[in-house]
Structure formats: structure tokens, C-alpha cells
Chain A
Amino acid sequence: MTEPPSLGRDDVAHVAQLARLALGEDELETFTNQLARVIEHARDVAALDVEGVPPTTHALPVRNVLREDDPRPGLDHEEVLAGAPSTEDGRFKVPRIVGEAP
């Protein structure tokens, strides 16, 4: 069984970027130390031999929960925009978008 991967500074910098969080140098250091300890603790799970054990996503076996295709009124348009940081022409306004959606 291979050793579970450990967590370093580069990993933290990478996941911070993925999660859209900016970290200062000090923070990067602190978070790396703290998260490395948690990951180190998680070795008891990461090192488990779970060959043939299925994953559990839902604790209880519920299946086929469905809704009829009947329309219902949604939110009032004004209410939708009321909490928005910025709007224009009934839409949510955001700064310019660099790059396209996947």
C-alpha cells in the first residue's frame, strides 16, 4: 500500500487558488502547518485497507425522490435583486469576465 500523500505549502497555495482565496505569506505558512497536522491525523483513514468496501454518500438508502413538472411562481423580481451588490436592467452586474466558462 502506498503512503498517503502529505500536504505542503504548494498544495495549500494551489487549493487556495482553486477556492478563490488569497493568502499572504504568513497565512500560507500558518495554514500549511495547521492543515498538515489535520492531514497527518487523517492518515488513519487514508491508510485503511478498504478493498471491496463501497463508499457511503448517503447514510440512509433513499432513492427516486422526484417532483411533478408543475410550474409554481418564483420570487418577486424586485426581491431577487434587492440583496444584490450591483444590478443593471434587471440583471446582476459583475466586473468584466476574463476567460470563458468550461
Chain B
Amino acid sequence: MIPAAAESALDVAGAVRRGERTARSVTETALEMIAAREPELHAFLHVAADEARAAADSIDDALRAGRDPGPLAGVPVALKDNLCTRGIPTTCASKILEGWRPPYDATVVVRLRDAGAVVVGKTNLDEFAMGSSTENSCQGPTCHPMDPTRVPGGSSGGSAAAVGAGLVPLALGSDTGGSVRQPAALCGTVGMKPTYGLVSRYGLVAFASSLDQIGPLAGSVADAALLLEVIAGHDPLDSTSLDHPVPQVSRSIDAGVDRMRVGLVDELVDDTAPDVARRIREAAEELAQAGALVEEVAVPEMRLGLSAYYLIAPAEASSNLARYDGVRYGLRVEAPDVAAMNTATRTAGFGPEVKRRIMLGTYALSAGYYDAYYGKAQRARTLIVRAFDRAYERFDVLLGATAPSTAFAIGERTADPLAMYMSDVCTIPSNLAGHPAMSVPFGTGDDGLPVGVQILAPALGEERMFQVAAALERAAGARWR
């Protein structure tokens, strides 16, 4: 039982632009739905009702004045709460940023507003995006939209749950090791991580800078394409932003997969639960039926991904999170001298998972361990990139599972960090390589909860990736309608 999808963003924007509905009425509906479901879901950390109404009214004003508000006219969008929003609290689900209102907007937020979108609120996440279940939030977990005893995945669990529950047609998340794709898979939505540098990171509160990308969550492949095209593109405020034309993903989704070379990755099937693995093989068969040339391929280097990731990402995080020191913003716990104040603040302000990763990363970078851990991980990263390069000589896209299992129970993996880290095993390799990857719902597991199939593509291979994603979406629709 896939939840009834919200209206598509394309339909909403079309109706608003044609004057059939007002942005204000769309916004009010979204706010009502959020109010109705929030007590049970807890997808949002902050609902920006006043700001949303004001934004909607200005879109309606623009329309009345004969101006086109843009491709997302009046579309309600939820933002993961690690995206900076001017004047609206941005906490990263951390006590250390409680009450912080950024004095600036993230680049993606500016682009959303410029495209006519209405930001309705900030969604829950694992503190500083560190986690795979949204349980590491200082405000408590978000529940799975179809089963409140289960996690929505993470770390963009609030965004995935909001879209999965049909509260908003679109949401943004961030994906450092799978944090968009994995919750999308668990909640039965589309979720996508763009090529590293395709979407500006300016205003995304950093977790692991060399891996972080902002990505869309949506109810359909077409909606995800629409959102990607709005947020993608070069930004002079991000040095790692690619100065490259935005892939025209909306145009490519109807192109089909005839003669497309698809590699079904052994490691992304074998390392998953049997019910998940079965669905992935079925997806591959569907693609073959649609004309794709599907072959199995082994990419054993992907198995190095988990370890490399859990050295590199914490190392970068340990440095990125040093600034939460009680001096300039956020929480301060007073102490007689500044070093003691730093320590008291950070000890009180960070949750256990964040502390774990800061310590892990500090260890990996510290004198005497750098070469053995961080240095090795960076070289393993090179091996993974090379393995992908070899695979993409033979294939246009790769296929596998997004997550090793369907949504697990709240509390099931919190006691064992390593078990939790394993949830990212299928998604991490694309982050390490900087490649795009996306998850599309494809049926359910034995427990009736959604399974996501993951499509991986080489850098800037978004168009082919969306072609395959759309084909799988059509196949799933035909199979389970």
C-alpha cells in the first residue's frame, strides 16, 4: 500500500499559473494537512506558516499583475532543516543551534523562491545529517508515514516522510552518504543525489564538504526532474560548483531505455535482504523488457566504500563542526575561561552520534593516525572512482538496491552504531565518486513497506539516469496499479 501521492508539483504549478487556483489556497491546504498529520509524523521542526502565506500572496499578486512567478508557481516545498533560511530557524536538529535564525538564504532557497515555490517549513533530520533513521534528532524521531513504529530512514527523514505522506509535493534533502536516497526508498518516494557540484552547497550546513549534495525528494520522477532543474546550476559562491549547463532531465524522461546499457551491480543486490534483492532483479527484468541491454557486473571496490566513508566523512565533519563553540551564535554554556566554555557548550549541545563522529574524525586526522586512516581512505576513494570508471566503459547506468532493507523499527539499530552505518552501504559509493544516483519506488518488501531501486550514473549523467528512472516508474505503475 503506497500512500496516496499528493498532487504533483507539475499539476499544482500549472493550475496556479493558469489562474485556476491561487497559491494562497494551495498553501492553506498544505498547512492544514501538515497540522493534521504532524502530531503522529513529526516530520517538521518548524512550520513557517506566516512566511508561507506571505510568499503565496506575493505569487498571487504577481499573477494578477501579469507576471509569471516561475515553474514552481505556488508549489509548497519543505526544506531539510540544515538549509539556511533567512530569519527562519535553522537548527540541524541540534541543541547547539537552537534558536539560530540565519541572516542569509542558501542558494537553493533563493532559487526556489525565484521559481515561485512556497517554503512551508523545515523538516526533521538526524542531528547535522548524521544518521540513517532520523532518530538522532534533538527533537525526537520522525515516524514512517505508513507505520509509526518504523523509521522513515535518514538523515532527510522529515523531508521523505512529508513527501511520502503527501503533505507537500516536493522537498529538499541533503545526501552525504545516501541521506536523500535511503529515506526516499524507505518512504516510497523518488529521491535523487545530483553530481557533486551540480547544485550549490552555499547555505547547506556542512557535514562532509567533499560528499555533501542537496537533492530533491518528490512523488514522481517528473516532479524530481522539475525541482532539480530549478536548484541546479553554477553558483559563484561555491568553489566546488560546476560551471556546466544544467542537464535537461525533464526533456529526457520520456525517451525510453531502448539499447541503454544497464549494469546490475552484484554488490548492490547480494548485500541486501532477500525481499529487496528480489525486487531489484525484477526491476532489471522490466528494463530488459523495455529494450535495455542488462548485464550483471561485479564492482568489488564498492565494498571498500563503507569504511572509506566512515573515515572521510567524520574527518571532514570534525573540522566543519568545530565552529560550534559558543562564541558567535547558538548555544553557550558559561564557564570561567573560554576553553572550558567551548567544552561545556559542545558537550551539552551535541548528541551522542555527533560526538561519536567528531571523535572518530579527529582520531582519523590526528598525528600518527592520518596516514593509516584518513590517508588510506582517500586512496581507497581513488580505487572506487577507478572501479566506477571501468564499469562505465561498459554501461550507461548501473542498477542496484538503494537500501539493504525496508524501513526498520524505531530503536532497532540505535544501540549499535556500526549496524546503523550499514544502512548506507548501497548509497555511499556514489558520494565517494561524486556521481549522481537516484532512488525510485519499486514495489514493496515482505512487510508491505516500500522498496527503492537505485540508478547510478557517471558524473553529469543525470539525463540517462532520469530516462531509466522514468521507465522504472512506468513499469512499477503498470505492475501494481
Task: Let me know if chains A and B touch directly in the complex, using CB atoms closer than 8 Å.
Answer: yes
Check A11 against B196 for contact (C-beta < 8 Å): no
A15-B366, A60-B242, A83-B329 in contact; A44/B307 too (CB < 8 A)? yes
Contacts A5-B372, A44-B303, A98-B339 hold; do A19 and B379 have CB atoms under 8 A apart? no
Name A51's closest neighbour in chain B (CB-CB): B379
Query: Cβ of B358 and Cβ of A19 under 8 Å apart?
Result: yes
Cα of A45 to Cα of B373 in the assembled complex, Å:
8
* A83 and B347 contacting across the interface, CB-CB below 8 Å: no
Q: Are B343 and A22 in contact, with the CB atoms below 8 A?
A: yes
Instruction: For the complex, give the distance between the alpha carbons of A76 and B86 in Å.
Output: 13
Contacts of A80 in B (CB 8 A): 103
The docked-state distance in angstroms from the alpha carbon of A96 to that of B338 is 6
Which residues from chain B contact A44 at a C-beta distance below 8 Å? 303-304, 307
B343 touching A20, Cβ below 8 Å: yes
Residue B197 lies at the interface, judged by CB distance under 8 Å to chain A? yes
Chain B residues near A37 (CB, 8 Å)?
417-418
Interface residues of A in 48-102 (CB under 8 A from B): 48, 50, 53-60, 62, 65, 67, 75-76, 79-80, 82-86, 92, 94-99
Interface size on A, as a range, is 35 or more
Encoded as 1 (CB less than 8 Å from any A CB) or 0, chain B from 22 to 45 comes to 000000000000000000000000
> What does the 1/0 interface line of B208-224 toward A look like (CB < 8 Å)?
00100000000000000
Q: Is there contact, CB below 8 Å, between A50 and B379? A: yes
List 6 A–B pairs whose Cβ atoms lie within 8 Å, in order of A's numbering. A22-B343, A56-B381, A56-B432, A85-B331, A95-B334, A99-B339
Q: B376 at the A/B interface (Cβ < 8 Å)?
A: yes
Q: A39-B373, A50-B379 are in contact. List 15 more A-B contacts (CB 8 A).
A: A4-B373, A5-B368, A14-B366, A15-B362, A31-B356, A41-B418, A42-B311, A43-B307, A44-B304, A46-B307, A46-B376, A59-B196, A60-B242, A62-B242, A83-B101
Q: How far is the CA of A45 from the CA of B311 in the complex (A)?
A: 9
A59 and B385 CA atoms in complex are apart in Å by 8
A34-B417 contact given A42-B373, A50-B379, A96-B338, CB 8 Å threshold: yes
A-contacting residues, B220-244, CB 8 Å:
236, 239-240, 242
Identify which of A39, A46, A60 contacts B196 (C-beta below 8 A).
A60
In the bound complex, what is the Cα–Cα distance between A55 and B304 (angstroms)? 14
Check A15–B363 contact: CB distance below 8 A: yes
With CB as the reference atom, state the residue of chain A lying closest to B381: A56
Interface: B408 (CB within 8 A):
no
CA distance A71 to B93 in the complex (A): 35
The answer to whether B337 touches A46 (Cβ under 8 A) is no
A residues near B334, Cβ cutoff 8 Å: 95
B328 in complex: contacting residue of A18, A34, A38, A92, CB < 8 Å: A92
Q: Please pick, from B318, B337, B360, B383, the residue contacting A35 in the complex, using a CB distance under 8 A.
A: B360
For residues 350 through 391 of chain B, which have their beta carbon under 8 Å from a beta carbon of chain A? Answer: 350, 355-356, 358-360, 362-363, 366, 368-369, 372-373, 375-383, 385
| A80–B104 CA distance with the chains assembled, in angstroms | 11
Which residue in A14, A21, A42 is a CB contact (below 8 Å) of B346? A21
Shortest CB–CB separation between residue A58 and chain B, in angstroms? 6
| In the A-B complex, the 10 residue pairs with the closest CB atoms | A59-B434, A55-B378, A85-B332, A50-B379, A45-B307, A15-B362, A83-B329, A56-B381, A42-B307, A65-B239
